[in-house]
Amino acid sequence: MKQHTRPYRWPAPLPGHTPHIWYGADYNPDQWPESVWDDDIRLMRQAGVNIVSLAIFSWAAIETDDGVFDFDWLDRVIAKLYDAGIAVDLASATASPPMWLTRKHPEILWTDERGETVWPGARQHWRPTSPVFRRYALRLCEAMAEHYKDNPAIVAWHVNNEYGCHNHFDYSDDAMRAFQRWCRHRYGTIDALNKAWGNMFWAQRLNSFDEIIPPRFVGEGNFTNPGRLLDFKRFSSDALKSFFIAERDTLARITPDIPLTTNFMVSAPGASLLDYDDWGREVDFVANDHYFTPGDAHIDELAYSASLVDGIARKRPWFLMEQSTSAVNWRPVNPRKEPGQLIRDSLLHLAMGADAICFFQWRQSNAGAEKFHSSMVPIAGEHTQVFRDVCTLGSMLGALTDEGLLGSTVRQAPAAIIYDADSQWASEHTATPNQKVRHWTEPLDWFSALADHGINADVLPVRAPWDGYDTVIVPCVYLFSEEMAHRLRSFVKRGGHAIVTYYSAIADEQDHLFPGGWPGLLHDVAGVRVEEHCPLTDLYPGALDHLDLSNGTTAHDLADVITGVEDGTRVLATFTAPEHTGMNGLPAITVHPYGEGALAYVGGKLGKDGIATSLPEILDALGIAYTRTGTGDLLRVVRTHSDGTTFEFTFNRSRDMTVDAELHGEPVAASYAETTGDGTASLKPNGVVVTAHRP
């Protein structure tokens, strides 16, 4: 298992201040005349803001021309913040290069898969593999660090911003050369690479590493080599990471005592762009940006992503760097948050292990590409519900700090759900049994279905230690290594309970399909053998547009053709289908005892509701005791302290009902909820109560 390369370090309070849950936002004072700054600070104090991320997009204002630096304005605003007791998470300012740089060096711009070069005009228009860009960016890092090394206001470095948000894939010649080096390092010989990529297929055999090109445009409707594509995704994460490390190390050399981070986007848009679990080893503390999913999935998706961040942080406190107070402006339609959601969402991140709650951004822009994006201070001003909620949240975080929440950690859940970035990337290829089947949504369905039964799960990156859980869920973990198979087998043998779904253990780490049926490497422990996939599609109305299961649930998109069932395997549900489909009566859900434990196999995409319906029987058959501990209307998360104090966060998870809850401990914060004094509370939709219990 890979180790962290840096010790965990959390931003320390300003001199003379005590530790506090960090609360604040991205602050872009350079978008406003200086006359607005004093008003900003007045309102920040009113809201209880104690930290801002500064200068993220300020390169053009700091280095106004090649080598010409102007720190005066930044010094002035930092001094004002410091005097007001507001700490600074200072950016390296390298996220968006200025026009003078791209005019002088257009070769730093990234290129798309058709060889088109992007133009400046938005942001992040640089390629991480450009030596020229690296030189300029590192010079800026150095200048920033030298200028601010003794400034007591700076409590953390915010290195760059959301790496890969816009420049995730670059297909330029710089990228090509770097990809060649990366491949040489990974494979050593071109024969090994030819084998890994399956290059004998379609005459793709290469004679040398110099012949490697990134997966550039191969023609509409054509299919690029999946092995190369998967490695290009791995390379792209590594190329950005190596750029991050160069920036980080430049800053750290000059300011070794200032902790550093960069903001991840663990669930945006819909799946991880980068291998954040790998990146998590390279930061001093993990920081994440999260934007809510409008609609029914809102609360569950937030809890799921935040739990994954907690897993990446290995349960050490993490920093919510960005979220929105209300609407974003980058979806086709941008719903606002409902009353109560600003506070509820923030407390849910906190429940899931965040010790810092920040927003994008402090004051809503009146110009530029994000002028319709909500902020802590809306364009409508301070006399708004959003700003009142921002102030209420500030006092709640103050109260929770006083109660001692800081530094407590999220109590381990009984179940772990595995997330694997590689499996997501591989399952995105365009030549698959059904394009509707990916990795990312399946863990979320399991998280929600368990929550319907009041069962909590921790979402864990595949590399994290999940072996100490009672149950581990392996949802569409498409790629499987020998090591993972070994871990799972020993886990079950020792008495663990595993649930493995369809589309798991389909291929090895190079995306070579396992021979002999699926789940590959796991036949003995799974007790079933899948011979073929049965994609479900509207092309077969009334027959294979879906498959019914004998337990009353329905599979969509994909079902497994399970033809082999080992002795001792219990079939919990079968498919029911017209005879001519060949699926009638085949096993759909099975449980197989193995060693001291057991493994349940779920051979189709049941969706959240189908999983929830099937769960009690699966859990019973696995011999799991914690079935149905709640109704699903409440989501409860507990943070515990080493001194035995526990903080229980109780959320109304229902969409639109008022829900009563029994409380454990003294109420210390509540929103859209009334506590009755007799140990219960009534939670309105979007309501939350936090209680503290001391030993």
**DSSP state, 569?**
P
**DSSP state, 124?**
-
Residue 30 contacts ligand GAL per CB under 6 A: no
Cα 506 to Cα 424, 459, 563, 605: the distances in Å are: 13, 21, 16, 15
Structure tokens at 682: 């009534």
**DSSP state, 502?**
T
Candidate list 40, 63, 89, 162; residue touching ligand GAL; CB under 6 A: 162
Taking CB under 6 A as the criterion, which residues in 288-307 touch ligand GAL? 289, 291
Structure tokens at 107: 């070769």
Stretch that binds ligand GAL, among 45-53, 82-90, 158-166, 429-437 (CB under 6 A): 158-166
| Nearest CB to ligand GAL, comparing residues 235 and 291 | 291
Structure tokens at 526: 């799974």
CA-based Rg of the chain, rounded to a whole angstrom? 26
Shortest reach from residue 158's CB to ligand GAL, in Å: 10
Cis peptide before 378 (omega within 30 of 0): no
Shortest reach from residue 30's CB to ligand GAL, in Å: 14
Residue 425 contacts ligand GAL per CB under 6 A: no
Residue 124 contacts ligand GAL per CB under 6 A: no
Candidate list 282, 322, 355, 422; residue touching ligand GAL; CB under 6 A: 322
Residue 258 contacts residue 303 (beta carbons within 8 Å): no
* 194 C-beta neighbours (distance < 10 Å), count: 17
Residue 370 contacts ligand GAL per CB under 6 A: yes
468, burial (CB in 10 Å: exposed 0-12, middle 13-18, buried 19+): exposed
Structure tokens at 246: 């160069």
| Nearest CB to ligand GAL, comparing residues 89 and 557 | 89
For 425-492, give the secondary structure using H, E and C. HHHCCCCCCCCCCCCCHHHHHHHHHHHHCCCCEEEEECCCCCCCCCEEEECCCCECCHHHHHHHHHHH
Candidate list 20, 228, 373, 439; residue touching ligand GAL; CB under 6 A: 373
| Nearest CB to ligand GAL, comparing residues 374 and 471 | 374
Shortest reach from residue 51's CB to ligand GAL, in Å: 16
φ, ψ dihedrals at 106, nearest 5°: -60, -15
Question: How far is 370 from 35, CA to CA, in rounded Å?
Answer: 22
- Site map 634..673 versus ligand GAL, x via CB under 6 A: ----------------------------------------
Residue 360 contacts ligand GAL per CB under 6 A: yes
Any idea which residue has 């109305």 for tokens?
A: 541
Question: How far is 492 from 495, CA to CA, in rounded Å?
Answer: 5
Give catalytic status of residue 322 as yes or no: yes
Shortest reach from residue 360's CB to ligand GAL, in Å: 4
Taking CB under 6 A as the criterion, which residues in 262-291 touch ligand GAL? 289, 291
Residue 327 contacts ligand GAL per CB under 6 A: no
Shortest reach from residue 162's CB to ligand GAL, in Å: 4
Residue 277 contacts residue 429 (beta carbons within 8 Å): no
Helices marked H in 7-122: 37-47, 59-62, 72-83, 99-104
| Nearest CB to ligand GAL, comparing residues 269 and 516 | 269
Shortest reach from residue 156's CB to ligand GAL, in Å: 16
Shortest reach from residue 289's CB to ligand GAL, in Å: 6
| Nearest CB to ligand GAL, comparing residues 290 and 523 | 290
Stretch that binds ligand GAL, among 82-90, 137-145, 159-167, 277-285 (CB under 6 A): 159-167
Question: How far is 90 from 84, CA to CA, in rounded Å?
Answer: 17
Candidate list 196, 303, 328, 348; residue touching ligand GAL; CB under 6 A: 328
Supply the angle between the helices 226-254 and 190-197 in degrees, to the nearest 10. Answer: 120
Any idea which residue has 């160069």 for tokens?
A: 246
| Nearest CB to ligand GAL, comparing residues 198 and 294 | 294
Taking CB under 6 A as the criterion, which residues in 163-192 touch ligand GAL? 165
- Applying CB under 6 A, the site for ligand GAL has a residue count of 10
| Nearest CB to ligand GAL, comparing residues 289 and 442 | 289
| Nearest CB to ligand GAL, comparing residues 251 and 328 | 328
Stretch that binds ligand GAL, among 111-119, 157-165, 429-437, 657-665 (CB under 6 A): 157-165
φ, ψ dihedrals at 624, nearest 5°: -95, 135
Shortest reach from residue 377's CB to ligand GAL, in Å: 16
Residue 294 contacts residue 261 (beta carbons within 8 Å): no
Contacts of 448 (CB under 8 A, 6+ apart): 297, 300, 304, 608, 612
> Looking at 247, 301, 322, 648, which residue is catalytic?
322
Shortest reach from residue 519's CB to ligand GAL, in Å: 36
> Looking at 162, 247, 282, 648, which residue is catalytic?
162
Residue 161 contacts ligand GAL per CB under 6 A: yes
Question: How far is 425 from 233, CA to CA, in rounded Å?
Answer: 7
* 297 C-beta neighbours (distance < 10 Å), count: 16
| Nearest CB to ligand GAL, comparing residues 248 and 373 | 373
Given the rule CB under 6 A, which residues bind ligand GAL? 161-162, 165, 289, 291, 322, 328, 360, 370, 373
Catalytic (active-site) positions: 162, 322
